[in-house]
């Protein structure tokens, strides 16, 4: 365990003005509170808070953050209280410790509903003071470094949670070194064989080629010396998980990967950044499409650097990052640079961003939008964890987007109205499909059209949370509007079938009797078959339905050939109708399933002739109460659906259910349950439907197809 003086010496190394008495008092208090507690390894528990405090000191953070790290488990795991911590170390420290405690209790890897709510709490804590997250990330990093002492199943759960949440969060906050280490520690747990294989291949490569990193570092230093630029060159092999991820993304083996080495060149000023780039590109050939200028277009977390990839020694691809020392400080510590000290004073780093602005805008947007839990999770992860590309409007404005974004994402990033009415796009002056993935530096021109609406297929194209949410809202509204239109047609046909009209007054009366908010809700429910046309008639005119049920108008349909104690039920597979030859299949009880003689399901009963019963329909007038299901493919144009419903009603058939099974931009495919008298009646209905010029196909379910 790190001794108190060792920790103080570490802090005074960058902040001689630190209040070491407060640090020592916090160390002593934490040691006392955790006395007798041990970790899974058997070490004193307080060794963990001290290690987290040391991690905060490595990032040159302020006293309050370090004290919070020393005490971050006291309120949760000891007899300490918020009031006691506040009395001893101040309200700010108490609030920070309490914030870390609440984050520790969040189950971020739980099921979606709970995870979504916990993510909201995570964002809320971040928006109040980002130092809560810095301590929590330090807490998770030390726990992952010592995870081998946990049970196997606990290791897997923590590693998954780290890979899914904390590693991307560290990266999004600009702490790339922490992201890489968290990913690699999780990779060690989740795929130890994969990680070992990467390390073995690195060892074999060193045996074959020697220390490539040192050789390339010497080459770069020689180039800089000849260019008259003073700079620090740092070379390294990429982390095993980074290599593994590239292998998975590119579907290539280790031997075919080129950029497995990374180099950083730290210059004295911004002018030298571009001088170094010129010198490097004059000496080695740059790889097309691999240059990124994050100096003129920094990331939202303040990250600035030039990225280029060149063909270096022996044709090996080498990734080089070029930046100043101030840019490097932000790149290494991210938002922590906002609080970092040097020589006893807060560092005024011009590139360090205010971490509260991004977080405040993010939480405000989520508070103002109506997100379902799954949408919220999708949105927040995209916003927080995605790498970015920078594109330009025709006027030169910069639009930041996640990697993989499309012109539709670009359009929604400008304005929801532009996104919803997007019909095309030009990238660098050339027209491209809307599913095109955008790249850094491209200029995008969006084409809109009045009357255009978001398409359901866009959900598979866009990647930004903003676009996905807007498209979902538009589709829900459009779908509800379609349901109301369909419900109005079904209500009209159902009431006209009994000689009545679907007036606004009648619909409002029915909605009131059913306990619904109004006719709009009633029509929507009819449109999705939650309420049928028969239900509507029964509510408004119960005397008509009772008359039919009592058999006053016409006698009910009868099937001949049954025993006195048997009852028949039409088989749903073939939906037999009067006028068709039928046969019965006896069930284990007294029921008989009635099939059309040509039903394919009858093959299954060929070996059981004793179950077959010869049946036929009775003669005489028939009610239109026999079910038949049609599958109709029709053009997606206004008025077509209404005409189909009218045609069915004009043939004196009743629609009992209607569902859209496939919705495309040009055609709909739907199933329509109708009630007819017999097979001849059905033929009249299908003929009338097929005669409509906007109907591509009308088939009887399970009979014509």
pLDDT of 331 strictly over 50: yes
Do 45 and 76 belong to one domain? yes
pLDDT value for 266: 94
Tokens of 323: 């930046």
CATH number where 253 lies: 3.30.460.10
pLDDT of 313 strictly over 70: no
Do 198 and 180 belong to one domain? no
**Mean pLDDT across the stretch 6-25?**
89
pLDDT of 70 strictly over 80: yes
Do 119 and 202 belong to one domain? no
pLDDT value for 385: 47
Confidence of residue 508 (pLDDT cuts 50, 70, 90): confident
Do 171 and 226 belong to one domain? no
Q: Do the domain assignments include residue 378? A: no
Q: Do the domain assignments include residue 613? A: yes
Query: Can you give the length of the chain in residues?
Result: 705
| Residue (of 658, 650, 641, 651) closest to 684 by Cα position | 651
Least confident span in 118-122, 165-169, 221-225, 624-628: 118-122
Do 182 and 291 belong to one domain? no
Q: Do the domain assignments include residue 324? A: yes
Do 237 and 184 belong to one domain? no
**Mean pLDDT across the stretch 358-372?**
51
When the pLDDT of each residue in the chain is averaged and rounded to a whole number, the result is: 81
pLDDT value for 369: 47
Give the list of residues 6+ apart from residue 582 with CB closer than 8 angstroms, or none: 559, 576, 594, 595, 596, 597, 615, 616, 617
pLDDT value for 518: 85
666-699: pLDDT as tens digits: 788 889 999 888 898 998 899 889 888 888 889 9
47-63: pLDDT as tens digits: 999 999 999 998 888 89
Q: Are 75 and 82 in contact (CB under 8 A)?
A: yes
- Higher-confidence position of 702 and 239: 239
**Mean pLDDT across the stretch 2-12?**
90
Catalytic residue flag (residue 208) = no
429-437: long-range pairs with CB below 8 Å, 24+: 432/407, 434/406, 434/407, 434/408, 434/458, 434/461, 435/406, 435/461, 436/406, 436/407, 437/404, 437/405, 437/406
pLDDT of 424 strictly over 70: yes
**Which of 286, 312, 346 is a domain's end point?**
346
Q: CA 633, CA 695: separation in Å to the nearest integer?
A: 6
116-157: pLDDT as tens digits: 555 555 666 555 677 888 898 999 999 999 998 888 888 998
State percent of the chain over pLDDT 70: 82
- Higher-confidence position of 200 and 390: 200
How many structural domains are present in the chain? 3
pLDDT value for 640: 84
Q: Do the domain assignments include residue 701? A: no
Range of the domain at 128: 4-190
**Mean pLDDT across the stretch 567-577?**
88
**Which of 304, 323, 346 is a domain's end point?**
346
pLDDT of 40 strictly over 60: yes
C-alpha triplet 676, 577, 655: angle, nearest 5°: 25
Q: Which residues of 381-392 are buried (b: 16+ CB within 10 A; e: fewer)?
A: bbbbbbebbbbb
pLDDT value for 106: 57
pLDDT value for 389: 74
Q: Do the domain assignments include residue 260? A: yes
**Global pTM value:** 0.55
Give the list of residues 6+ apart from residue 426 with CB closer than 8 angstroms, or none: 432, 444, 445, 447
* Residue 38 per-residue DSSP state: B
Do 222 and 181 belong to one domain? no
Q: CA 124, CA 559: separation in Å to the nearest integer?
A: 69
Least confident span in 262-271, 480-489, 507-516, 691-700: 480-489
Range ranked top by mean pLDDT from 253-262, 425-434, 478-487: 425-434
Confidence of residue 534 (pLDDT cuts 50, 70, 90): confident
Q: Which residues of 144-167 are buried (b: 16+ CB within 10 A; e: fewer)?
A: bebbeebeeeebeebbebbbbbbb
Do 36 and 153 belong to one domain? yes
Confidence of residue 554 (pLDDT cuts 50, 70, 90): very low
- Higher-confidence position of 688 and 251: 688
**Mean pLDDT across the stretch 570-574?**
88
Q: Do the domain assignments include residue 636? A: no
Q: Are 190 and 164 in contact (CB under 8 A)?
A: no
**Mean pLDDT across the stretch 656-668?**
78
Do 229 and 159 belong to one domain? no
Which is the catalytic residue, given 12, 58, 77, 538? 77
pLDDT value for 547: 44
Q: Do the domain assignments include residue 42? A: yes
Helix axes 407-414, 465-496, angle to 10 degrees: 90
Tokens of 247: 């292998």
* Three-class DSSP category at 613: strand
Catalytic residue flag (residue 248) = no
| Residue (of 600, 613, 645) closest to 486 by Cα position | 645
Do 202 and 182 belong to one domain? no
pLDDT value for 590: 66
C-alpha triplet 136, 137, 141: angle, nearest 5°: 120
**Mean pLDDT across the stretch 213-234?**
90
pLDDT value for 660: 81
The residues that bridge with 697 in the sheet, in sequence order, are 633
**Which of 124, 155, 190 is a domain's end point?**
190
pLDDT of 704 strictly over 60: no
93-121: pLDDT as tens digits: 998 888 888 776 655 554 444 455 555 55
pLDDT of 382 strictly over 50: no
429-486: pLDDT as tens digits: 888 899 999 887 788 999 999 888 888 789 888 988 788 888 888 887 877 777 788 7
Do 284 and 257 belong to one domain? yes
Confidence of residue 209 (pLDDT cuts 50, 70, 90): low
Do 244 and 271 belong to one domain? yes
Which is the catalytic residue, given 12, 58, 76, 557? 76
CATH number where 85 lies: 1.10.3210.10
- As separate numbers, helices (DSSP H) first and strands (DSSP E) second, the chain gives 28, 22
Confidence of residue 410 (pLDDT cuts 50, 70, 90): very high
Q: Do the domain assignments include residue 665? A: no
pLDDT value for 654: 84
């Amino acid at each position: 365990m790190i001794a108190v003086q060792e920790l103080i010496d570490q802090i005074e190394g960058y902040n001689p003005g630190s209040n070491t008495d407060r640090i020592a008092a916090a160390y002593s208090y934490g040691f006392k509170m955790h006395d007798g507690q041990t970790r899974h390894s058997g070490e004193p528990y307080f060794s963990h808070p001290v290690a987290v405090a040391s991690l905060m000191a490595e990032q040159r953070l302020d006293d309050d953050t370090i004290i919070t790290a020393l005490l971050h488990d006291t309120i949760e795991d000891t007899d300490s209280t918020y009031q006691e911590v506040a009395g001893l170390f101040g309200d700010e420290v108490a609030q920070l410790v309490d914030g870390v405690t609440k984050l520790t209790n969040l189950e971020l890897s739980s099921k979606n509903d709970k995870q979504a709510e916990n993510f909201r709490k995570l964002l809320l804590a971040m928006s109040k003071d980002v130092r809560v997250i810095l301590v929590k990330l330090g807490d998770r990093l030390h726990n992952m470094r010592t995870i081998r002492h946990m049970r196997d199943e606990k290791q897997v759960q923590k590693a998954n949670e780290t890979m899914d949440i904390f590693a991307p969060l560290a990266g999004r906050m600009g702490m790339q070194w922490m992201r890489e280490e968290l990913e690699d520690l999780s990779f060690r747990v989740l795929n130890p064989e994969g990680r070992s294989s990467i390390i073995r291949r690195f060892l074999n490569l060193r045996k074959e080629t020697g220390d490539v990193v040192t050789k390339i570092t010497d080459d770069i230093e020689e180039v800089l010396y000849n260019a008259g630029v003073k700079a620090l060159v740092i070379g390294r092999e990429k982390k095993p998980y980074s290599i593994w991820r590239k292998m998975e993304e590119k579907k290539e083996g280790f031997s075919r990967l080129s950029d497995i080495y990374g180099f950083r060149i730290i210059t004295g000023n911004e002018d030298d950044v571009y001088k170094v780039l010129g010198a490097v590109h004059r000496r080695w050939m740059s790889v097309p499409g691999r240059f990124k200028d994050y100096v003129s277009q920094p990331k939202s977390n303040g990250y600035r650097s030039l990225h280029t990839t060149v063909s270096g020694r022996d044709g090996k691809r080498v990734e080089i990052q070029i930046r100043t020392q101030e840019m490097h400080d932000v790149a290494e510590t991210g938002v922590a640079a906002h609080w970092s000290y040097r020589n006893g004073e807060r560092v005024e780093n011009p590139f360090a961003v205010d971490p509260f602005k991004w977080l405040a805008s993010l939480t405000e947007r989520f508070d103002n939008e109506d997100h379902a839990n799954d949408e919220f999770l999708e949105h927040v992860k995209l916003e927080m964890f995605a790498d970015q590309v920078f594109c330009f409007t025709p006027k030169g404005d910069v639009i930041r987007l996640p990697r993989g974004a499309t012109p539709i994402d670009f359009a929604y990033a400008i304005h929801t109205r532009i996104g919803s009415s997007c019909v095309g796009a030009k990238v660098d002056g050339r027209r491209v499909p809307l599913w095109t993935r955008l790249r850094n530096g491209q200029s995008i021109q969006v084409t809109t059209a009045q009357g255009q609406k978001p398409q359901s297929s866009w959900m598979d194209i866009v990647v930004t949370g903003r676009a996905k949410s807007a498209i979902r809202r538009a589709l829900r509204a459009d779908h509800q509007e379609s349901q109301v239109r369909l419900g109005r047609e079904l209500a009209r046909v159902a009431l006209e079938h009994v000689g009545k009209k679907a007036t606004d007054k009648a619909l409002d009366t029915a909605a009131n009797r059913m306990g619904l908010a109004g006719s709009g809700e009633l029509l929507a429910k009819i449109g999705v078959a939650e309420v049928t046309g028969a239900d509507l008639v029964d509510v408004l005119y119960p005397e008509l339905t009772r008359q039919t049920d009592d058999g006053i108008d016409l006698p009910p349909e009868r099937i001949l050939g049954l025993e006195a104690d048997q009852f028949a039920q039409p088989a749903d597979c073939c939906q037999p109708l009067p006028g068709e030859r039928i046969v019965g299949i006896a069930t284990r009880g007294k029921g008989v399933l009635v099939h059309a003689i040509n039903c394919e399901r009858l093959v299954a009963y060929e070996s059981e002739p004793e179950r077959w019963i010869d049946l036929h329909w009775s003669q005489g007038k028939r009610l239109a109460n026999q079910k038949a299901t049609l599958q109709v493919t029709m053009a997606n144009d206004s008025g077509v659906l209404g005409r189909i419903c009218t045609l069915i009603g004009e043939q004196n058939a009743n629609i009992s259910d209607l569902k859209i099974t496939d919705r495309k931009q040009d055609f709909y495919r739907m199933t329509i349950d109708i009630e007819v008298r017999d097979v001849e009646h059905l033929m009249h209905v299908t003929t009338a439907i097929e005669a409509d010029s906007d109907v591509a196909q009308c088939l009887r379910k399970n009979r014509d197809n």
